[in-house]
């Protein structure tokens, strides 16, 4: 079974995207995948700056995250929408992981041929859908195979119980559908 990384684009306490990421991780585990749910607070990275990279290379947290991307067969990105796009945290992760560490390393090595699934959650009516439009474009342009199915959870703060369970059956079915397609494509490509 494929190795899946689940990456939330929020480090906020009580984040609805972190809750959705945890639901996705559980569904993927139930489907038999090997799953790692990332806690974005574990990867405190400076805002990407090429001067910093030239002086010091990749920070340890960026190397660690890049190694996890490289080892995974698929990544599920779970992003909030900020002003109609992805969060600076998510873009910063994507940018640091996109960098090479040696001259002979192929560019975008952590991304090329990787499978991705997209999820978002927001209090708003669109559920963060506009962020996913941008995320799909960014990932597609760096060689990631993003599955067509995606899901944006609207009214998100009201859709989890106190234990973090997603209480909306239709939403749960949609998340399961994305996870199933990610596992299926990653398995075919393995
Ligand atoms: C938001 N939020 C928001 N929501 C949305 O649906 N569309 C948007 O364009 C924006 N824009 C936006 C900008 C900024 C700077 C912030 C801080 C927030 C609201 C956002 O969806 C809400 O705060 C979520 O709860 C953020 O996700 P987490 O942190 O709960 O996962």
Per-residue pLDDT of the chain (190 residues; tens, 9 = 90+): 999 999 999 999 999 999 999 999 999 999 999 999 999 999 999 999 999 999 999 999 999 999 999 999 999 999 999 999 999 999 999 999 999 999 999 999 999 999 999 999 999 999 999 999 999 999 999 999 999 999 999 999 999 999 999 999 999 999 999 999 999 999 999 8
Ligand 1 centre distance from Cα of residue 177 (Å):
24
pTM for the full model? 0.98
Region of residue 43 (left: phi > 0; alpha: psi -120 to 50; beta: else) = beta
For ligand 1, atom 13, name the residue with the nearest CA. 82
Backbone angles phi, psi at 136, to 5 degrees: -60, -40
Ligand 1 centre distance from Cα of residue 83 (Å):
7
For residue 20, give the ligand 1 atom closest to its CA: 31
Backbone angles phi, psi at 75, to 5 degrees: -130, 130
Is 9 a pocket residue for ligand 1 (Cβ < 6 Å)?
no
Would you list the domain boundaries of the chain?
A: 3-189
Answer yes or no: CATH 1.10.3720.10 is held by domain 3-189. Answer: no
Sheet of 3-8: strand order equals 34-37, 3-8, 74-79, 115-121, 145-153
Which residue has 């474009």 as its token pair?
Answer: 137
């Amino acid at each position: 079974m494929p190795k899946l990384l689940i990456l939330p684009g929020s480090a906020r306490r009580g984040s609805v995207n972190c809750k959705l990421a945890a639901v996705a991780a559980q569904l993927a585990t139930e489907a038999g995948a090997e799953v790692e749910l990332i806690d974005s607070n574990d990867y405190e990275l400076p805002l990407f700056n090429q001067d910093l990279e030239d002086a010091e290379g990749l920070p340890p947290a960026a190397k660690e995250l890049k190694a996890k991307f490289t080892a995974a067969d698929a990544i599920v990105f779970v992003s909030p929408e900020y002003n109609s796009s992805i969060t600076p945290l998510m873009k910063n992760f994507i940018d640091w992981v996109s960098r090479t560490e040696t001259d002979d390393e192929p560019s975008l090595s952590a991304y090329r041929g990787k499978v991705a699934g997209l999820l978002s959650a927001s209090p708003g009516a669109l559920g963060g859908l506009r962020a996913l439009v941008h995320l799909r474009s960014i990932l597609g342009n760096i060689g990631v195979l993003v599955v067509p199915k995606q899901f944006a959870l609207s009214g998100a703060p009201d859709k989890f119980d106190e234990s973090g369970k997603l209480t909306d059956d239709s939403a749960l079915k949609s998340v399961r559908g994305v996870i199933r397609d990610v596992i299926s494509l990653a398995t075919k490509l393995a």
